[in-house]
Amino acid sequence: MRRQLLAIVAFLAAMALVPHLVDSEFWRNWVMMALFYALLGQAWNILGGYGGQFSFGHAAFFGTGAYCSAILHVHYGVNPWIALPAAGMAAGLVGAFIGFLSFRYGLRGSYFALVTLAFAEVLRILANTVPITGKGVGLLIPLEPGAANMQFADRTGYFYLILAFVGLALLLTLWLEHSRFGARLVAVRENEDAARALGVDVFRTKLAAITLSGALAGLGGSYYAQLFLYLDPGIAYGPAISVEALLVPIVGGMGTLFGPLLGSFALHGVSELAKLAFGEAPGLDLALYGVLLVLMVMFMPNGLFGMGRTTLARLLGGRRDA
């Protein structure tokens, strides 16, 4: 635990230097977006990686967080810093709702994945029809630069904000790894019947996990709204976010503390390389992600982090280190 905490602090400190050391605006931006996707991946990881419940619809939480903070700000004049926790809570509630319906009726595996996908789609259609979201036209957040408005004229503020969120997600995950709740969540992933026989309330455990996961993704949504100052139903609830959220931890290592971080940087590195090689063909990212997903599942089911760990263990003479 100490070593993990140290690693987190070292990582955050190194990242904090990026805006000062990296000259290129492009690369600073690139790191920032990698951190953003790491946050979504970490959110997914809590439910999918530790809890074994694969969601295909994390956009439902992301979009709810994004719309919640944007709507509160635009229509009700709520300060974005105050709208932020509200967005997290709203997204957590959506998580609790989806979780209640699916887990109460024992939906698992692909059935659960389909339900989450369906919820994200329903929310997308809903956002397309109700006036408060601006429907298909989208919702524009007025430009009022100033830290008090969570809008930063130079992008360094956005960089530190997402870094803070990632730090929060890492600490939350660290806590999870060393708490009773986390132990029970992993037990549920490994074998539900055995967990129940040991007194674990499977339903409540999963419900708590999806709520937490949803809330974290909701913070990501709120951040996104403030960064781009524009939302539409496709951005908020479309499948792109859902795919990123699940691919990042799958590539990096599900159910590990640093997996999503590793996965996000790797995935976006590869996607940049592909752009260099093939140009900006539309749909290229998704095709690439599809291929990557198949390759990962076939050859590296434990992700980059898992593979690194096994290799390291082998080098150290078969010592297994968790």
Partner 1 sequence: MLEVEGVSKNFGGLRAVADVTMRVEEGSITALIGPNGAGKTTLFATISGFLRPDTGRVRFLGRDIAGLSPERICRLGLARTFQIVQPFAGLSVRENIAVGAHLHRPGRTEALAHAELIGRQIGMGRMLDQPAGALTIAGRKRLELARALATDPKLLLLDEVMAGLNPTEIEEIVAVVRRIRLAGVTILLIEHVMQAVVSLAETTWVLSDGVLIARGSPAEIAADPKVVEAYLGRGAAARLAGREGGAAHA
Footprint of partner 1 on this chain (CB under 8 A)?
178-180, 183-184, 186-187, 189-191, 193-202, 320, 322
Q: How far apart, in whole angstroms, are the C-alpha atoms of residue 169 and residue 42?
A: 7
DSSP E strand boundaries for the chain: 139-140, 230-231
Least Å from the CB of residue 297 to partner 1:
17
CB nearer to partner 1: pick between 30 and 181: 181
- Residues 180/57, Cβ–Cβ less than 8 Å: no
CB nearer to partner 1: pick between 73 and 189: 189
CB nearer to partner 1: pick between 5 and 147: 5
Least Å from the CB of residue 248 to partner 1:
21
Distance of CA 238 to the CA centre of its chain: 15
Least Å from the CB of residue 3 to partner 1:
16
Least Å from the CB of residue 195 to partner 1:
7
Least Å from the CB of residue 45 to partner 1:
15
- Residues 95/213, Cβ–Cβ less than 8 Å: yes
Least Å from the CB of residue 287 to partner 1:
32
- Residues 243/289, Cβ–Cβ less than 8 Å: yes
Closest CA to 176 of 7, 84, 47, 304: 47
**Helices (H) then strands (E): counts for the chain:** 14, 2
Decide: residue 132, CB within 10 A, 0-12 exposed, 13-18 middle, 19+ buried. Answer: exposed
Residue 77 CA: distances (Å) to CA of 81, 169, 192, 195 = 12, 28, 46, 47
Buried b (16+ CB within 10 A) or exposed e, 283-320: eebeebbeebeeebeeeeebbbbbebbeeeeeeeeeee
Least Å from the CB of residue 250 to partner 1:
16
Least Å from the CB of residue 86 to partner 1:
30
CB nearer to partner 1: pick between 40 and 200: 200
The full DSSP string for 227-246 is HHSEE-HHHHHSHHHHHHHH
- Residues 221/91, Cβ–Cβ less than 8 Å: yes
CB nearer to partner 1: pick between 20 and 180: 180
CB nearer to partner 1: pick between 120 and 170: 170
CB nearer to partner 1: pick between 75 and 204: 204
CB nearer to partner 1: pick between 3 and 320: 320
Decide: residue 170, CB within 10 A, 0-12 exposed, 13-18 middle, 19+ buried. Answer: buried
